[in-house]
Amino acid sequence: MSLPPLVEPAAELTIDEVRRYSRHLIIPDVGMAGQKRLKNAKVLCVGAGGLGSPALMYLAAAGVGTLGIVEFDTVDESNLQRQIIHGQSDIGRPKAESARDSVREINPYVNVIVHNEALSNDNVLEIFAQYDLIVDGTDNFATRYMVNDAAVFLKKPYVWGSIYRFDGQASVFWAEHGPCYRCLYPEPPPPGMVPSCAEGGVLGVLCASIGSIQVNEAIKLLAGIGEPLLGRLMVYDALEMTYRSVRIRKDPNCAVCGENPTVTELIDYEDFCGGISDEASAATLGSTITAPELKEWIDSGKAIHLVDVREPAEWEIVRIPGAVLVPKGEILNGSALADLPQDKQIVLYCKAGTRSAEALAAVKAAGFKDAVHVQGGVSSWVKTVDPSLPSY
């Protein structure tokens, strides 16, 4: 459905702005009025990573007058394959500040507000209240549900995107006129079911594909043109080069925007989404070692069987010496359990500790009661034991 413009037009465009935005101004659907609305708009980007990078760059180029950036992380070398708003010289810098400088270079007429902090229950409502529209570039379920609920409570629209390997999704959520994110996904997936981009990877250019769609939707909402993705989920397959649209209906039983909502204030989103399953959490109690402790075990000749539960592509990048590769799925389905030795202590690791915790629960349930996993996984090994190895 078409919607009225989200913001009123600014009083005027300067001569320099007319020159800069001339290719917009000659589009009848945008014109002077539409460009003035963009100038008067205040848009917040949640995250300056894979999706936030192209979104911020194109929002700035389009002439959105005020851009907010909420981001707490720093630039890492592994980001540069997809987070194109940052460069080599930005490694180690706060992403919010790096993104701000890039935005100013793209368009000096944009007012940039930096929120160099993690979005949380303590600040999300205050930050969101300052903006007309939210562009969600988050990569974890806890923050996605928090963004959604805060937007519903404040009656704000937001443009959502998601990426994984070669697949992307995008939609517009606005409870005042259609469904919210919880109407589409009432419950988060079970812990460990959906790998993060850090675990499963993402094709760098996919970020541009989905991020540009988010900006396109933001411009349409701000200027009141076209048919926004409200009530529709756009699904993109980069390998097959296909787009398809799925209808989303407002759920009258939605916990947040339904007729009788049960969630009327911000909740504990980490607990709601769960970092790891209860079984995995219980299994790690008293059965977790650090990377330096593992190094001591190896150096002392302790009888251990070191198991890497990541995927083969990750194994090829970096591994702990002496380990064997047994992907987590083969442990969870039981096919690899018979090959585990009975006369050695089983030590499991993954990239950061989440997958190895899930595998540990299955290994302990199979009778290997003294099995342990490595806190922080191979990432911790690289940082604390052998920095000469590559990280990813």
Supply the residues annotated as catalytic. 197, 350
Q: How far apart are CA 223 and CA 28, in angstroms?
A: 12
Distance between CA atoms of residues 352 and 377, nearest Å: 4
Burial class, 11, CB count within 10 angstroms (exposed 0-12 / middle 13-18 / buried 19+): exposed
Cross-strand pairs, 170: 161, 234
CA 13/CA 254 separation, integer angstroms: 43
Residues 6 or more apart in contact with residue 215 via CB below 8 angstroms: 54, 55, 58, 59, 62, 135
The sign of the dihedral angle between the CA atoms of 30, 35, 41, 43 is positive
Pairwise CA distance, residues 259 & 106, whole Å: 44
Angle at 4 between CA 60 and CA 37, to 5 degrees: 30
Record the tokens describing residue 97, joined without a space: 């500040």
> Which residue spans within the chain are E strands per DSSP?
42-46, 66-70, 111-115, 133-136, 158-164, 167-173, 232-237, 242-247, 288-289, 304-308, 324-325, 345-349, 372-374
**Structure token digits, residue 232:** 């529709």
**How many of the other CB atoms lie within 10 Å of CB of 342?**
8
Phi, psi dihedral angles at 385 (to 5 degrees): -115, -50
User: Which residues pair with residue 69 across a beta bridge?
Assistant: 45, 114
Do residues 138 and 151 make contact, with C-beta atoms less than 8 angstroms apart?
no
> For residues 296 and 381, what is the distance between their CA atoms, to the nearest angstrom?
12
